[in-house]
């Protein structure tokens, strides 16, 4: 589990800090970003104590394929509570509020549910059998 400081990004890819965050459903073979490899994925971290609202920012790019995969839907859950739902059609930074009960608990499980994740092999574009949804670059948190 990673201890996060305000403004410190959890990074992805082969050099990323997310590798030590009990990840599931993430690929760490690329340099500075990680593909989600299943419809369900996530990782764990610990937030500092805060008396204020906390905002999370997730920097992502969707897996798209012309005329076949036009968007990715992503549900963000924190300790089982829905924090955000987004439809992603281009690289984006998604902001979401971390509910106070989660800030109080400090230990956080961030889970992404991506029902539109697609398998390149099934689409006939490569031999890749992963279910690609989002390319994650970083996530950071700030006290509001």
144 domain residue, yes or no: no
Domain that holds residue 100: 2-136
Q: Is the pLDDT of residue 70 over 90?
A: yes
86 domain residue, yes or no: yes
The CATH number that applies at residue 122 is: 2.60.120
Exposure letters 27-43 (e unless 16+ CB within 10 A, then b): bbeeeebbbbbbebbbb
pTM (2 d.p.): 0.92
Pairing of strands 134-143, 10-11: antiparallel
Mean pLDDT over 61-79 rounds to: 96
42 domain residue, yes or no: yes
76 domain residue, yes or no: yes
142 domain residue, yes or no: no
143 domain residue, yes or no: no
141 domain residue, yes or no: no
Instruction: Identify the pLDDT of residue 102.
Output: 78
Handedness of CA 79, 109, 84, 67 (dihedral sign): negative
**Number of domains making up the chain:** 1
Q: Of all residues in the chain, what percent carry a pLDDT higher than 90?
A: 81
Instruction: Identify the pLDDT of residue 33.
Output: 97
Question: What's the angle, vertex CA 100, arms to CA 105 and CA 73, rounded to 5?
Answer: 100
Instruction: Identify the pLDDT of residue 105.
Output: 72
């Amino acid at each position: 589990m990673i201890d996060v400081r305000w403004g410190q990004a959890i990074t992805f890819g082969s050099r990323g800090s997310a590798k030590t965050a009990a990840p599931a459903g993430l690929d760490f073979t690329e340099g500075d970003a990680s593909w989600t490899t299943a419809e369900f994925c996530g990782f764990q971290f610990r937030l500092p104590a805060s008396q204020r609202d906390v905002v999370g920012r997730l920097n992502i790019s969707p897996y798209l394929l012309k005329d076949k995969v036009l968007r990715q839907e992503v549900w963000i859950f924190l300790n089982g509570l829905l924090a955000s739902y987004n439809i992603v059609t281009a690289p984006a930074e998604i902001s979401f509020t971390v509910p106070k009960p989660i800030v109080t608990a400090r230990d956080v499980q961030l889970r992404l549910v991506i029902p539109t994740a697609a398998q390149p092999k099934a689409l006939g574009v490569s031999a890749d059998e992963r279910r690609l949804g989002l390319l994650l670059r970083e996530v950071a948190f700030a006290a509001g």
